Amino acid sequence: MMGPIGSGKSALVRELVANFLRQGCQLLYYCIDDPADVVKLGLEDHHIAVTKIEEEGRLEFVDMFSLGAQKLAESLPKMDPGVILEETLRFEDLLAYGRSFAMKASLGPKVIVMDSITPFFLLAEARRVYQYVQVMRFATQIARAVTISVLHTEVVDVNVENATANLADGVIEMRKRQGEVLLKGGTLKVLRIGRNPTPSRGYFYQITQQGIVFSNTPMF
């Protein structure tokens, strides 16, 4: 799922997660842009009994945001500023935390959410991103899961954006409405599903307190 910061990607992901949990899925949520407490509150706003589902073993959080903040605090006094980001958020940590989830007996269809992978790609070359995404695809297959990853565009190098999009099994693009202050929303397009191109149509959406509301009429 790609789009600029503020386009509503995280809001849509949390709505999807809420629906996955209602359908009995087993879910691993990497909290990278926000701490786990904030994500849990967002799910509870969708009437999800987070604590109960955690106790059932169907929902796990990896609080990469808080882990990164802790590493950052420990590193600041002694580490060169140029390597702080590279050392506090490492792609290898994602795989390490997800290994036990992948090996668990399934309680339902497995879903992995990464919101967002952007910090891991900020300093990476396109070649490294290609390797990372290939590993993510392989790990997802091993876990027999579906992985949803969020990438902020206009932040990382355009070659990184292209490498990520080209390797994904499907691509959704969200673009926020320009020049509008009172209404939060934009347009959503499904750019690709599998290797098949999709019609270049989009749907207007609006971000409300009740969630994301989509128009029924496609735009061309």
- Residue 136 maps to which CATH number? 3.40.50.300
CA distance 30 to 115: 6
Name the nearest CA neighbour of 102 among 114, 110, 94. Answer: 110
**How many domains is the chain built from?**
1
- Other beta carbons less than 10 A from residue 113's beta carbon: 26
**186 assigned to some structural domain:** no
**87 assigned to some structural domain:** yes
CA distance 40 to 214: 24
Q: Tell me which H or E stretch contains 177.
A: none
Answer left, alpha or beta for residue 27, where phi above 0 means left and psi between -120 and 50 means alpha: beta
**141 assigned to some structural domain:** yes
Q: Residue 105 belongs to what domain range?
A: 2-170
Q: Which is it for the CA torsion 77, 83, 85, 89, positive or negative?
A: negative
Task: Name the 3-class secondary structure at 133.
Answer: helix
CA angle 124, 194, 116 (to 5 degrees): 35
What do you get for the CA distance between the two ends of the chain, in Å? 20
Cis status of the peptide bond prior to 215, with omega within 30 of 0: no
Q: Tell me which H or E stretch contains 106.
A: none
**193 assigned to some structural domain:** no
CA distance 115 to 210: 21
Name the nearest CA neighbour of 174 among 184, 163, 189. Answer: 189
State the pTM of this model: 0.88
CA distance 171 to 72: 32
**217 assigned to some structural domain:** no
Residues in the chain: 220
**151 assigned to some structural domain:** yes
**175 assigned to some structural domain:** no
Name the nearest CA neighbour of 71 among 52, 89, 50, 55. Answer: 89
**37 assigned to some structural domain:** yes
The one-digit pLDDT tens for each residue of the chain (220 residues) are 999 998 999 999 999 999 999 999 999 999 999 999 999 999 999 999 999 999 999 999 999 888 877 776 766 666 665 565 566 567 777 778 888 888 888 888 999 999 999 988 887 777 888 888 888 888 888 888 999 999 999 998 888 888 888 888 899 999 987 765 556 889 999 888 887 767 777 899 998 888 899 988 777 6
